[in-house]
């Protein structure tokens, strides 16, 4: 298979065409990011005139200065970190022990508990009852509400439970002999053996927390509590309709477009930093997640 000499001329042609098409697709995936990055470093005038194609035109960092001088940008960035870190830790605190208990054969009513978890993946009450429930619980406009309200996810529990089930019983026997209780067995045997699966679940949580905007937009009214994505939406989606505002933001140095682009760049950077881990573990996760009840 790997020996190029075995290929006929037709094959070589095929392989080259294939590479060219793939390269085109890859470029189309990458180009929008390059375009946005270049836009963010161009002058407002050039951006407005539609002169930015590939590289920055009239290089300037004024748009970044404008973005970074905005207090709301910083507070929403800080909030996103709170929601992401707090939410992920909260999720793991629920999911790890829960998945472990569900993986134990001696658990009474195991089928029922598992079904109770799985059912939430097939049926959910929908936006309105969930929203009213959060309101009735007094969790509107609260950091805690956002962190606790999305802590558990059936898919993640089942993914981790399946992984725990795949660990041979023999691993825990030594610990059992030493009289370890369930908590000790989980913490000292199962958690260390499941690091890749736990990392996968943690990364699922981190990405969905970092990127989540819909419920934060619905549940948080207080500007000081909104995360970055809600702030982003406010600036780049809502204000883009407002031509008048867009014009007031326009100076020679930056324009609405370059400021939007600069905010986009600032919010993508953390995802890019953890991207090597994401790629590694998501690859595994998507395959581990061939979920079985």
Partner 1 sequence: MINEPQLHGSKTEELIVEAGEALRRRKPSRMVRIGDHVKREWQLYLMLLPTILWLLIFLYKPMYGLQIAFKDYSIFRGVAGSPWIGLEHFQTLFGNDQFLRAIKNTVIISFYSLIFGFPMPIILALMFNEVLHQTFKKTAQTIVYLPHFISSVIIAGIVITAFSPSAGIVNTVLEWFGGESIYFLTRPEWFRPIFVGTGIWQEAGFQSIVYLAAIAGVSPTLYESAVVDGASRWQMMWKITLPSILPTIIIMLIIRIGNMLEVSFEMIILLYQPATYETADVVNTFIYRQGIQGGQYDLAAAAGLFNAVVAFVLVMTANTISKRYSRTSLW
Residue among 147, 140, 141 at smallest CA distance from 82? 147
- CA–CA separation, 161 vs 186, rounded Å? 12
Quote the DSSP letter at residue 280: H
Q: Which is nearer to partner 1, 193 or 207 (CB)?
A: 207
Under the binding rule (CB under 8 A), the answer on residue 10 touching partner 1 is yes
Cα 25–31–37 angle (5° rounding)?
Answer: 160
Residue among 147, 115, 111 at smallest CA distance from 227? 147
Looking at 72, 92, 118, 191, which residue binds partner 1 (CB under 8 A)? 118
Least distance (Å) from partner 1 to the CB of residue 147? 12
Looking at 70, 213, 245, 253, which residue binds partner 1 (CB under 8 A)? 213
Least distance (Å) from partner 1 to the CB of residue 10? 5
Under the binding rule (CB under 8 A), the answer on residue 218 touching partner 1 is yes
What is the DSSP annotation of 19-42? HHHHHHHHHHHHHHHHHHHHHHTS
Give, as ranges, the residues between 50 and 89 that touch partner 1 (CB under 8 A). Answer: 50, 52-53
Looking at 71, 111, 123, 170, which residue binds partner 1 (CB under 8 A)? 123
Under the binding rule (CB under 8 A), the answer on residue 224 touching partner 1 is no
- CA–CA separation, 97 vs 161, rounded Å? 10
Taking CB under 8 A as the binding criterion, the range among 15-23, 61-69, 170-178, 190-198 that sits at the site for partner 1 is 15-23
- CA–CA separation, 2 vs 208, rounded Å? 39
Looking at 82, 92, 253, 268, which residue binds partner 1 (CB under 8 A)? 268
Under the binding rule (CB under 8 A), the answer on residue 142 touching partner 1 is no
């Amino acid at each position: 298979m790997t020996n190029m000499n075995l290929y006929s001329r037709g094959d070589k042609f095929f392989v080259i065409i294939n590479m060219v098409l793939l390269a085109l697709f890859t470029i189309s995936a990458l180009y929008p990011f390059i375009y946005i990055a270049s836009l963010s470093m161009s002058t407002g005038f050039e951006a407005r005139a539609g002169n930015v194609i590939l590289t920055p035109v009239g290089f300037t960092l004024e748009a970044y200065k404008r973005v970074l001088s905005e207090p709301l940008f910083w507070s929403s960035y800080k909030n996103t970190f709170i929601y992401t870190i707090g939410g992920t830790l909260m999720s793991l605190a629920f999911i790890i022990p829960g998945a472990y208990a569900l993986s134990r054969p001696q658990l009474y009513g195991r089928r029922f508990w598992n079904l109770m978890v799985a059912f939430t993946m097939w049926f959910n009450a929908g936006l309105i009852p969930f929203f009213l429930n959060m309101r009735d619980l007094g969790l509107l406009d609260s950091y805690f509400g956002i962190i606790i309200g999305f802590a558990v996810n059936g898919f993640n529990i089942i993914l981790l439970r399946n992984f725990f089930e795949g660990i041979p019983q023999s691993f825990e026997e030594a610990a059992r002999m030493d009289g370890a209780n369930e908590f000790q067995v989980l913490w000292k045997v199962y958690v260390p053996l499941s690091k890749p699966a736990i990392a996968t679940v943690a990364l699922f949580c981190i990405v969905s927390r970092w990127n989540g905007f819909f419920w934060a937009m619905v549940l948080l009214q207080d500007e000081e509590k909104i995360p970055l994505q809600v702030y982003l939406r406010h600036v780049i989606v809502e204000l883009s309709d407002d031509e008048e505002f867009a014009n007031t933001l326009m100076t020679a140095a930056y324009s609405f477009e370059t400021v939007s682009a600069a905010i986009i760049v600032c919010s993508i950077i953390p995802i890019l930093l953890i991207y090597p881990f994401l790629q590694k573990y998501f690859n595994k996760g998507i395959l581990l997640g061939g979920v079985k009840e």
